[in-house]
């Protein structure tokens, strides 16, 4: 039981009334970074905003106008908690691109895939329950797990994604410790932030490891269709309909402003998700869902995704080329899709303490620490190439290289920093940036 109400402070009279989970809520790095990204003089290699400049706005304007004029009585009304049936049909088609065979009844539409994460965590996680996740892992997922007081056990990745042997060991170690694992949370394709994909050979192996131990797999797949060479990897869900809860979204293949994502789940889990969603939001927006359906019905959305791939590939190329040209003593991978490069910093440099100096030099990134539940990650930074133009990416990398060079001079002169680190600062505050 938390402190009783009435034991507030001068600054917050309700401080004593909060739930235990609330005391663990911290300003997310993502949130702080929205503030940076909005300052035009800063090159933000931080945020995950997709570049939607290529969208056919005139067409979307027209189909949305028709939707409201002809079907406004439905589009502006409440809908079902599970989501609009027509959109769920389309979602099944979209998932088919990744080899998934599903039924519209398996699908629950959510307010972005972030809500899907929230709902899955809500129905499975009691305080103290264990979730296994890649090291590093998506910051927004870690934030949800923390909100439900779950505990994350990280499992290492290599260039082929999650390492099966490490997963096996982690699950068995948790079991032996009497701490059963509620689910594996994984971003198998074009990982955020690591940029790697789970190899096809490993996909079956990871599923088999989880299946044999009765561990559910939560597959988060926002970038699966954004492979730069056009190859689409088979989703984990395509191999296993009963052991995988699949999260998808239109935020990256269409646009995030509708906040339309989804979850495809085994029947009984899906029922719980609908109940949880009705409690959370009653129903997802009909206007948004029907707008997305209208877009899919009136535009070559597969061609749009091909355009997006080319556009992001050009940006990825700008990123890795300029990294190779300018970045001293760092290493990174060359992502085959998605939005992010994961850069290992030179020994002695701390991504978190460097961030204020980088923003002073008008470039922003996300410290690797955001992607771990356990304080690791200060030796990495995530650089996103999704939103800025190639020229801005190159300029951002040049600025960052300058900052790192100066840091290196200090390291070489005085040894690795660290004494100035305030361990309490987990996220940059908006004011700092």
Residues of this chain, 180-219, that bind a second copy according to CB under 8 A: 180-183, 213-216
Residues of this chain, 229-248, that bind a second copy according to CB under 8 A: 242
Site for a second copy (CB under 8 A): which residue of 33, 233, 287, 381?
287
Name the minimum Å distance from CB 422 to a second copy: 20
Residues of this chain, 41-80, that bind a second copy according to CB under 8 A: 49, 52-53, 55, 57-58, 60-62, 64-66, 68-69, 72-80
DSSP structural state of residue 111: E
CB neighbour list of residue 169: distance below 8 Å, 6 or more residues apart: none
Residue span 375-414 as binding mask against a second copy, x where in contact by CB under 8 A, dash where not: ----------------------------------------
Determine phi and psi for 66, rounding to 5 degrees: -65, -40
Name the minimum Å distance from CB 23 to a second copy: 10
Q: How many CB atoms lie within 10 A of CB 97?
A: 14
What's the rounded Cα separation, in Å, for the pair 405 and 407?
A: 5
The tokens 């992001």 sit on which residue?
Answer: 312
Site for a second copy (CB under 8 A): which residue of 168, 237, 252, 259?
259
Cα torsion 178, 154, 190, 209: sign: negative
123 touches a second copy by CB under 8 A: yes
Only segment of 196-204, 270-278, 332-340, 406-414 that touches a second copy (CB under 8 A): 270-278
15 touches a second copy by CB under 8 A: yes
Are 198 and 161 in contact, with CB atoms under 8 Å apart? Answer: yes
Name the minimum Å distance from CB 415 to a second copy: 37
Up-side HSE of residue 159: CA atoms within 13 Å toward CB?
5
Q: How many CB atoms lie within 10 A of CB 162?
A: 28
DSSP structural state of residue 147: H
Site for a second copy (CB under 8 A): which residue of 255, 393, 404, 433?
255
Q: How far is CA 128 from CA 52, 119, 269, 317, 398, in A?
A: 40, 17, 21, 42, 44
298 touches a second copy by CB under 8 A: no
Bond into 193 cis (ω within 30): yes
Site for a second copy (CB under 8 A): which residue of 46, 94, 144, 386?
144
324 touches a second copy by CB under 8 A: no
Cβ nearer to a second copy, comparing 7 with 101: 7
Residues of this chain, 148-187, that bind a second copy according to CB under 8 A: 148, 180-183
């Amino acid at each position: 039981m938390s402190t009783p109400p009435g034991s507030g402070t001068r600054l917050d009279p309700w401080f004593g009334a909060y739930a235990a989970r609330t005391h663990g809520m911290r300003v997310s790095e993502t949130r702080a970074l929205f503030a940076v990204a909005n300052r035009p003089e800063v090159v933000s290699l931080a945020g995950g905003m997709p570049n939607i400049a290529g969208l056919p706005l005139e067409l979307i304007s027209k189909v949305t106008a028709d939707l409201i004029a002809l079907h406004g009585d439905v589009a502006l009304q409440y809908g079902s908690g599970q989501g609009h049936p027509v959109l769920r049909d389309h979602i099944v088609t979209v998932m088919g691109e990744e080899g998934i065979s599903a039924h519209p009844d398996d699908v629950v539409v959510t307010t972005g895939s972030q809500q899907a994460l929230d709902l899955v965590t809500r129905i499975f996680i009691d305080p103290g329950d264990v979730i296994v996740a890649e090291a590093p892992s998506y910051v927004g997922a870690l934030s949800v797990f923390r909100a439900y007081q779950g505990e994350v056990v990280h499992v290492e990745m290599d260039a082929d994604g999650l390492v099966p042997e490490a997963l096996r060991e982690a699950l068995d170690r948790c079991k032996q410790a009497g701490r059963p694992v509620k689910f594996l949370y994984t971003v198998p394709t074009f990982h955020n932030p690591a940029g790697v994909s789970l190899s096809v050979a490993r996909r079956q192996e990871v599923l088999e490891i989880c299946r044999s131990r009765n561990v559910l797999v939560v597959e988060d797949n926002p970038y699966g269709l954004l492979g730069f060479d056009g190859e689409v990897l088979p989703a984990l869900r395509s191999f296993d309909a009963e052991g995988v809860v699949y999260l998808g979204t239109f935020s990256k293949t269409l646009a995030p402003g509708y906040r339309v994502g989804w979850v495809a789940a085994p029947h009984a889990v899906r029922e719980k998700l609908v109940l949880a969603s009705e409690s959370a939001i009653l129903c997802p927006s009909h206007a948004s869902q029907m707008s997305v359906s209208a877009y899919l019905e009136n535009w070559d959305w597969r061609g749009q995704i091909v355009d997006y791939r080319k556009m992001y590939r050009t940006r990825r190329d700008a990123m890795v080329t300029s990294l190779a040209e300018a970045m001293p003593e760092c290493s990174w991978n060359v992502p085959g899709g998605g939005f992010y490069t994961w850069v290992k910093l030179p020994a002695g440099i701390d991504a978190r303490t460097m961030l204020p100096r980088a923003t002073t030099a008008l470039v922003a990134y996300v410290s690797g620490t955001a992607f771990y539940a356990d304080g690791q990650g200060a030796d990495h930074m995530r650089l996103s190439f999704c939103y800025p133009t190639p020229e801005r990416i190159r300029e951002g990398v040049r600025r960052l290289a300058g900052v790192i060079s100066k840091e290196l001079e200090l390291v070489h002169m005085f040894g690795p920093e660290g004494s100035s680190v305030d361990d309490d600062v987990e996220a940059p505050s908006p004011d700092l940036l």
